[in-house]
Structure 1
Amino acid sequence: MGDELQGLVAVVTGGASGLGAAIAARLRADGARVAVFDVNPDAATDVDLAVAVDVTDDATVVAGVARVVAELGGIDILVNNAGIGAQGDVTANGDDEWHRVWDINVVGMARVTRAALPHLRRSPAAAVCNTSSIAATAGLPERVLYSATKGAVLSMTRAMAADHLAEGIRVNAVNPGTADTPWIGRLLDKADDPAAERAALEARQPHGRLVSPDEVADAVAYLVGPRARSTTGIGLAVDGGMHELRLRPPGR
């Protein structure tokens, strides 16, 4: 960590907790001034600006972007991290839940990017990073709705990268494996045997543990930073090898 992002302004959606909070802290440690958009901005700590923004409400998104520009002077980096989970097979969620999760996880990213785009175009170091998931690239049980949204995020990332490369805006995604976040903690609390469920999640990842939020934040910091100037349109897996590796069982 150092001053690689010195003088730049970053916006992190969903930045008051979990992965978003870790990302915001890392970007600030690298010298950026960081604004957090969150439905619960009072929970944000160690940021330069926390704004009440609901990514499903375009008016709050537009107002949030305007406030960042007015108070911090522009936008150079956008991290579209706000999202929610969903469980179950294809029969488990009704239309209302499909629309709700899609609106937050996919359309929400489009709303924030659309509002920020005029300011990103003015930046000499513009970068966008979208939070996708291992669920976009591997079939996971009981995650149909969530996987559909994260697959859309990955496809949207590539299309946005193609659209805006000539404008000097890089667009990438980070694809975390199962991360040790409050959302996973709540899922484990609901399990019949939380310890066994946690062990199963850890064993599913080849390196044998959950991904830490700081590891995801490190990947995001790379993707939006100057060392990644030739990197655009990718999904960077931070999943302990879950997507790419096929290891032998121990002792075989």
Structure 2
Amino acid sequence: MDLQLSGRVALVTGASKGIGLAVAATLLDEGAKVVAVSRSSSPELDKLAGAGLVHLPADLTAAEAPAQVVNQAVEIFGGLDILVNNAGGPPPGVVLPRQSFLDATDEEWRAMFEFNLFSAARAIRAAIPHLRKRGGGAIINVSSVNARQPSPINVDYGAAKAGMSNLTKELSSEFGPEGIRVNTVSPGPVRTPWWTDEGGVADMIAAQAGTDRDSVLNTVVPEMMNLTTGRLVEAQEVADAVALLASPRSAATTGADLAVDAGFLKEI
């Protein structure tokens, strides 16, 4: 199916690895011109760089950074059609998972909201005038199942993502009449470096459970989280959902939340 993304300009944050890298690669494969934003690049992202993809280094927790990268994207490719707010997770200096709400300080809460919510709000504020000039466009905010299913081990992260989902609903109503569609994708546990890197979450759980990393990823976590599919989500599966929502083929979809969660969420 042609997603009709050829020639469209997309900005993807958190694009050096995991979901963001998969999104950038997928949009590029679909013919879009991509501005990939992250604190630093990666060998995988460097391989994608060329006429159709440019990397911009930025710390999106800096208040001025989101607007700067939006404006740079417009300067590089002449406009903006798609904004993917994917950057998120634990900001520098914050370690997840925790054991309790009581483990997070005020400063850690501020850092979590700066990275996971405020940076996206600032990018959206900067992007909307450019989307208006194009006659509309698509904003996809990467939220989380924790926005709908609270967890004591990620309480500040979940609260920030709940704010992201709420913001998305408001934006979709306010700007939908102008052809600007705003949706969320809410991943469940995704097989990304946050889980798989040495010293990552899989290793932490393995140490607690007295097992190994592969067993945690393939058996322990799917059983612990009661994943219907029996496995973690792949980053490409999230990227495919993002690409579909970015496409004009989703012209009637706005204000929606698409869970790509291996069946984690089971409520109606």
TM-score, length basis structure 2: 0.86
Amino acid at match of 2:59: D
Residues 1:229 and 2:248 are matched in the alignment: no
For residues 9-45 of structure 1, give each alpha carbon's deviation from its aligned partner in whole angstroms, at most 9, with x where no partner exists: 0000001111000001111111100001111135523
For residues 86-109 of structure 1, give each alpha carbon's deviation from its aligned partner in whole angstroms, at most 9, with x where no partner exists: 322211111111100110000010
Q: State the 1:139 CA deviation.
A: 3.1
Determine helix, strand or coil for the equivalent of 1:121.
helix
CA separation of 1:119 and 1:128: change in aligned 2, threshold 3 A: same
Determine helix, strand or coil for the equivalent of 1:180.
coil
Return the match for 1:113 from 121, 124, 129: 124
Q: State the 1:151 CA deviation.
A: 1.0
Amino acid at match of 1:58: A
Return the match for 2:237 from 207, 212, 215: 215
| Alignment check: 8 A CA contact 1:23 1:221 kept | yes
Residues 1:20 and 2:42 are matched in the alignment: no
User: What is the root-mean-square deviation of aligned Cα atoms in Å?
Assistant: 1.8
| Alignment check: 8 A CA contact 2:3 2:30 kept | yes
| Alignment check: 8 A CA contact 2:97 2:201 kept | no
Q: State the 1:189 CA deviation.
A: 2.1
| Alignment check: 8 A CA contact 1:62 1:115 kept | yes
Whole-Å separation in 2 of the counterparts to 1:3 and 1:159: 26
Match of 1:98 in 2: 109
Whole-Å separation in 2 of the counterparts to 1:56 and 1:49: 21
For residues 146-167 of structure 1, give each alpha carbon's deviation from its aligned partner in whole angstroms, at most 9, with x where no partner exists: 1111111111110111111122
Return the match for 1:174 from 150, 161, 185: 185
Whole-Å separation in 2 of the counterparts to 1:136 and 1:62: 25
| Alignment check: 8 A CA contact 2:136 2:178 kept | no
Whole-Å separation in 1 of the counterparts to 2:34 and 2:15: 10
Residues 1:61 and 2:57 are matched in the alignment: no
Residues 1:187 and 2:201 are matched in the alignment: yes
Please say which of residues 217-226 and 114-123 is displaced more in the overlay: 114-123
Q: Where in structure 2 are the equivalents of 1:64-103 lying within 5 Å?
A: 64-85=69-90, 86-88=96-98, 89-103=100-114
| Alignment check: 8 A CA contact 1:37 1:51 kept | yes
Match of 1:35 in 2: 35
| Alignment check: 8 A CA contact 2:4 2:248 kept | yes
Q: State the 1:197 CA deviation.
A: 3.3
Q: Structure 2: which 5+ runs fail to align?
A: 91-95
Whole-Å separation in 2 of the counterparts to 1:58 and 1:90: 27
CA separation of 1:32 and 1:125: change in aligned 2, threshold 3 A: farther
Match of 2:150 in 1: 139
Identity rate, percent: 37
| Alignment check: 8 A CA contact 1:120 1:126 kept | yes
Whole-Å separation in 2 of the counterparts to 1:226 and 1:164: 16
Amino acid at match of 2:265: H
Match of 2:260 in 1: 238
| Alignment check: 8 A CA contact 1:81 1:130 kept | yes
